[in-house]
Amino acid sequence: MKAALVTGAGAAAVLAYPLLVRGPYPQHLMILVLLNALLGTAWNILGGFAGQISLGQAIFFGAGAYTSTLLAQHAALSPWLGMLAGAGVAAVLALAVGYPFFRLSGHYFAIATIALGEIAAIVVTNWDFAGGAVGLFLPVEGTGLAAMKFEGKLGYHYLLCGLLALAVALSVWLRGARAGYYWRAIREDEPAARSAGVPATRYKQLAFAVASALTAMAGTFYAQYVLFIDPPSVLPLSLSIQICLVTVLGGAGTIVGPLLGAAVLVPLSAATSVLLGGSGRSLDLVVYGALIMLIAAFEPSGLIGFARRLRARVQ
Amino acid sequence: MAQALVSGLLQGLVFALIAAGLTLIFGVMEIVNFAHGEFLMLSMYLSYFFQAALGWDPLAALPLNAALLFALGLLVYYALIRRVLRAPMLAQIFATFGLSVFLQSAAQFLWKPDFRTLGATLVSGRRLALGGVFVSGPQLAAAAGAVLTTLALWWMLARTEIGRALLATAEDRGAAALMGIDPDRMFALAWGIGAACVGVAGALLSTFYYVFPQVGSQFALIAFVAVALGGFGSVVGAFVGGIAIGVVESLAGVFVAPAVKNLFVFGIYLAVVLVRPRGLFGKQ
CA dist., res. B256 & res. A238, Å (int): 27
When pLDDT is cut at 50, 70 and 90, the band that residue A306 belongs to is confident
Q: Yes or no: say if B191 and B25 are a contact pair by the CB < 8 Å rule.
A: yes
- Pair B245, B226: CB distance under 8 Å: yes
Are B278 and A115 in contact (CB < 8 Å)?
no
| Nearest chain A residue (CA) to B270 | A112
* Distance from the A110 Cα atom to the nearest Cα atom in chain B, whole angstroms: 10
**Eight-state DSSP code of residue B136:** E
Contacts 24+ apart (CB under 8 A), B128-133: B130/B6, B131/B2, B132/B2, B132/B3, B133/B2, B133/B3, B133/B6
- Closest Cβ–Cβ partner in B89, B97, B278 for A292: B97
ipTM over 0.85: no
For residue A102, which of A15, A208, A249, A230 has the smallest C-alpha distance?
A: A208
How confident is the model over A33-80, as pLDDT tens digits? 999 999 999 999 999 999 999 999 999 999 999 999 999 999 988 999
Instruction: Give the side-chain half-sphere CA count within 13 A for A77.
Output: 18
Which pLDDT score, from 0 to 100, does residue A280 have?
A: 59
What's CA A282's distance to the chain center, in Å? 25
Tell me whether residue A188 is exposed, middle or buried, using C-beta atoms within 10 angstroms of its C-beta: 0 to 12, 13 to 18, 19 or more.
Answer: exposed
Confidence bin at A175 (pLDDT 50/70/90)? very high
How many H helices and E strands in chain A? 14, 2
Residue A50 pLDDT? 94
User: Is A90 within a domain?
Assistant: yes
Q: pLDDT in tens for each of the 284 residues of chain B?
A: 788 888 889 889 999 999 999 999 988 888 889 999 999 999 999 999 999 989 898 888 999 999 999 999 999 999 999 989 888 888 888 899 899 989 998 998 888 888 888 887 777 777 777 777 888 888 888 888 899 999 999 899 888 888 888 888 888 888 888 888 888 889 999 999 999 999 999 999 998 889 999 999 889 888 988 988 888 888 888 999 999 999 998 998 888 888 788 888 888 888 888 888 888 887 65
Q: At what angle do helices B183-205 and B137-159 cross, to 10 degrees?
A: 170
Comparing CB atoms, the residue among B83, B102, B262 nearest residue A286 is B102
| Residue B1 β-bridge partners | none
Q: Is residue A152 situated within a structural domain?
A: yes
First to last CA, chain A: 17
CATH class of B2-86+95-108+126-275: mainly alpha
C-alpha to C-alpha distance for B153 and B51, rounded to whole angstroms: 27
Query: Does residue A170 lie in a domain region?
Result: yes
In sequence order, the 6+-apart residues with CB closer than 8 A to the CB of B165 are B176, B181, B186
Which candidate in B23, B77, B93 is best for mutational testing of the A interface (most A CBs within 10 A)?
A: B93
Residue numbers of the domain that contains A118: 25-236
Task: Tell me the mean pLDDT in the region A271-288.
Answer: 72
Nearest of A53, A81, A52 to residue A67 by alpha carbon: A81
What is the per-residue pLDDT across A49-60, written as a single tens digit (0 to 9) for each?
Answer: 999 999 999 999
Instruction: Provide the shortest C-alpha distance from residue B107 to chain A (in Å).
Output: 9
The CA-atom distances, in angstroms, between A36 and each of A243, A303, B281 are 7, 16, 39
Contact status of B85 with chain A (Cβ, < 8 Å): no
Which of B270, B272, B276 to mutate to probe the A interface, most A CBs <10 Å?
A: B270
Parallel, antiparallel, or unpaired for β B127-130 and B133-136?
antiparallel
Paired residues of B127 in beta bridges: B136
Longest Cα separation, chain A? 61
d(CA A143, CA A159): 14
CB atoms under 10 Å from CB of A162, counted, come to 10
Residues of B in contact with A248 (CB under 8 A): 90-91, 94
Question: Which residues does chain B have within 8 Å of residue A293's beta carbon, measured at their own beta carbons?
Answer: 80, 94-95, 98-99, 102
pLDDT at A278: 60
Positive or negative, the Cα torsion across B33, A102, A121, A157?
Answer: negative
CA B136 to chain CA centroid, nearest Å = 21
Q: Quote the number of domains for chain A.
A: 1
Find chain B residues with C-beta within 8 A of A306's C-beta: none
Q: Is B264 on the interface with A (CB under 8 A)?
A: no
Nearest CA in chain B to A100: B274
pLDDT at A158 over 90: yes
The four Cα atoms A282, B95, A39, B105 give a dihedral, to 10 degrees, of 10
- The dihedral formed by the CA atoms of B184, B190, B191 and B195, expressed in degrees to the nearest 10: 160
Specify which residues A137 forms β-bridges with.
A228
Burial (CB count within 10 angstroms: exposed 0-12, middle 13-18, buried 19+), residue A8:
exposed
Domain ranges of chain B: 2-86+95-108+126-275
Gap between the Cα atoms of B230 and B221, Å rounded: 14
- The CA-based angle A93-A96-A99, given to 5 degrees, is 140
Distances from the Cα of A148 to the Cα of A82, A151, A284, angstroms:
11, 10, 34
Instruction: For residue A235, report the phi and psi dihedrals to the nearest 5 degrees.
Output: -125, 20
Under the banding of pLDDT at 50, 70 and 90, the label for residue A279 is low
A146 in contact with chain B, both atoms CB, cutoff 8 A: no
Alpha-carbon separation of residue B58 from A58, B51, B217, B247, B267 (angstroms): 39, 7, 21, 26, 35
